[in-house]
Structure 1
Amino acid sequence: MEHFESWRDLLNPEFYIKMGGFWLILFIVFAETGLFVGFFLPGDSLLFVSGIYAVEIVNESIGSTGNDLLDTTILASCIAVAAIIGNQVGYWFGRKAGPSLYKREDSFFFKKKYLKQAHDFFEQHGALAVIMARFLPVVRTFTPIVAGIVNMDRRKFLFDNVVGAVLWSFSLIFAGHYLDKLFIEQFDIDLKAHLELIILVIVLITTLPLVMKFFFNKHKDPDFDPQNPE
């Protein structure tokens, strides 16, 4: 069992995998969107590293099927379900209490600017934002809330939610699992020995769109009225 040693552990996906395994992974995926305080939790890197450990995770939780592909599919499917439920909870919260969030004071767990970023992203990309947001840290936490605030059609949101969750979970889980195998077989490189570098690369790739958006828009003055988000 892994033990908490420093705040750096909270950003290390391997820490969560070794500390809580299958069930903690599912909770984190749910919390990233179901509990809007989860924006600081590792998402993309957690899924990629979980893919590397897929067989071990499934074996220790529900028991391995003995089939590598099936074990990886089971893990990706369960993560997709957790992601779908998380987004639906975020959407429901947005419909019920979302507008009041714009009046809430900033805290460690809540930043109003993140909610606004998600709103701008949603307005720019429309319904596809629900799918695209899955691959963007922070934005994916607040996009379902914004979708609820602007009263996006429930069926349309559910459809985009399912598509986005499946694409996100399967692409990252399978990428981690089979790239690890490829590097071992072709280059004799074990990705488990280079997780810090891998996590850094994933963070850079997933945050680059947000950084670019910030620099391109830093001189603009968006006319967004939080009292009337529509």
Structure 2
Amino acid sequence: MHDLAFNPLSANGYLSSLGAFGVFLVLFAETGLLIGFFLPGDSLLFTAGLLCTTSASGSVHLNLGAVLPAAAAGALLGAQAGYWLGKRGGRTLLARSSNKHLQRGVDRAEEILDQYGHGKAIVLARFIPVVRTVLNPLAGILEVPTRTFAIWQAAGGLVWSIGVTLAGYALGSSIPSIDKYLLPIIAVIVVVSLIPLALEIFRSRRDGEGKRSEG
């Protein structure tokens, strides 16, 4: 467990070492700072909810009353920070990044904004890894009205952060002695949380190959 605390890709590591504050920290960084695109937001929320159902004497036990506010605060404040950074100079930051996953996220975020409009796109982006990192500064760059962004990011942020956490809590509550199955369940959660990202990468590569064949 001590080793996991230093693994930036391990949701369990953040939770075991930082507790509810780890939830706030990861969500703020993932949704507000471009460098946080790799952080495990989905799996962390679900795992946090799951760990709220473990026995108090277990290796990791969290309090739902602390996790939910931390999750909501991290998601909402992070998005606003990302929007503010975008308005201040986000285009320069994005242009300097050479990370392919981040650039694909930018392209996908622009597509979603064009296809669904500001409100739906801001909400939908919450559920897509990487896209939820870049859409907030992108909204600032594109000068989405501050009030419009604040309303829709709050709605999407609350549904995402609280909903995924409560889903984990519901699963943990439905399985007696959840502590015995904790590691395999967390492993499954991590795999499932990577599916949207894998689909986005596959989609981007397919579209790229299609454009090259047309050219």
- What TM-score results when the alignment is normalised by the length of structure 2? 0.82
Question: Which runs of 5 or more structure 1 residues have no equivalent in the other structure?
Answer: 59-63, 65-70, 222-230
Distance in 2, Cα, partners of 1:45 & 1:167: 15
Does 175-184 or 134-143 show the bigger shift? Answer: 175-184
- Answer yes or no: is the 8 Å Cα contact 1:183–1:191 preserved in 2: no
Cα separation, 2, equivalents of 1:77 and 1:5: 24
Residue 121 of structure 1 aligns with which residue? 112
Give the match for residue 142 of structure 1: 134
- Please give the alpha-carbon distance, in whole angstroms, between the structure 1 residues aligned to 2:65 and 2:146: 28
Q: Distance in 1 between matches of 2:128 and 2:189?
A: 17
Match of 1:200 in 2: 191
Q: 1:220 to 1:184 in 2, by over 3 A?
A: farther
Q: Would you say the 8 A contact 1:48–1:177 is kept in 2?
A: yes
Offset of residue 80 of structure 1 = 1.0
Distance 1:102 1:29, change over 3 A: closer
| 1:100, distance to aligned residue in structure 2 (A) | 1.7
Could you tell me how far apart the structure 2 residues matched to 1:49 and 1:142 are? 24
Corresponding residue number in structure 1 for 2:154:
162
Matches within 5 A, 1:27-66: 27-54=25-52
SS, match of residue 8 in structure 2: helix
Q: Deviations over 1:116-161 (max 9, x none)?
A: 3322232222221111111111000000011111110111100111
Q: Which moved more, 1:209-218 or 1:12-21?
A: 209-218
**Conserved in 2, the CA contact under 8 Å of 1:94 and 1:148?**
yes
Q: 1:89 is matched with which residue?
A: 81
Task: Note the C-alpha offset of 1:190.
Answer: 4.9
Change (3 A) 1:184 1:41: same
Distance in 2, Cα, partners of 1:44 & 1:5: 18
Residue 13 (structure 1) aligns with: 11
CA contact (8 A) 1:184 1:190 kept: no
Contact 1:133–1:140 (8 Å) recurs in 2: yes
4+ runs deviating over 4 angstroms: 188-191
Structure 2 CA distance for partners of 1:190 and 1:74, relative to 1, 3 Å: same
Q: CA deviation at 1:209?
A: 4.4
Query: Which region of structure 1 is more displaced relative to structure 2, 206-215 or 153-162?
Result: 206-215
Q: Residue deviations 1:69-110, cap 9 Å, x none? A: xx53542233112111100010011111022235315269x9
Larger displacement relative to structure 2 (92-101 or 26-35): 92-101
> Identity of paired residues, percent?
29
Distance 2:147 2:75 in 1: 17
Q: In structure 1, how many angstroms separate the alpha carbons of the residues matched to 2:206 and 2:97? A: 27
Task: State the AA in 2 paired with 1:4.
Answer: D
Distance in 1, Cα, partners of 2:5 & 2:80? 33
Alignment gaps of 5+ in structure 2: 57-61
How many Å separate the matches in 2 of 1:190 and 1:178?
Answer: 17
| Distance (Å, rounded) in 1 between the aligned partners of 2:68 and 2:38 | 22
2:211 maps to: 220
Distance 1:18 1:173 in 2: 16
* CA shift in 2, pair 1:79/1:30, >3 Å: same
Q: SS of the counterpart of 1:11?
A: coil
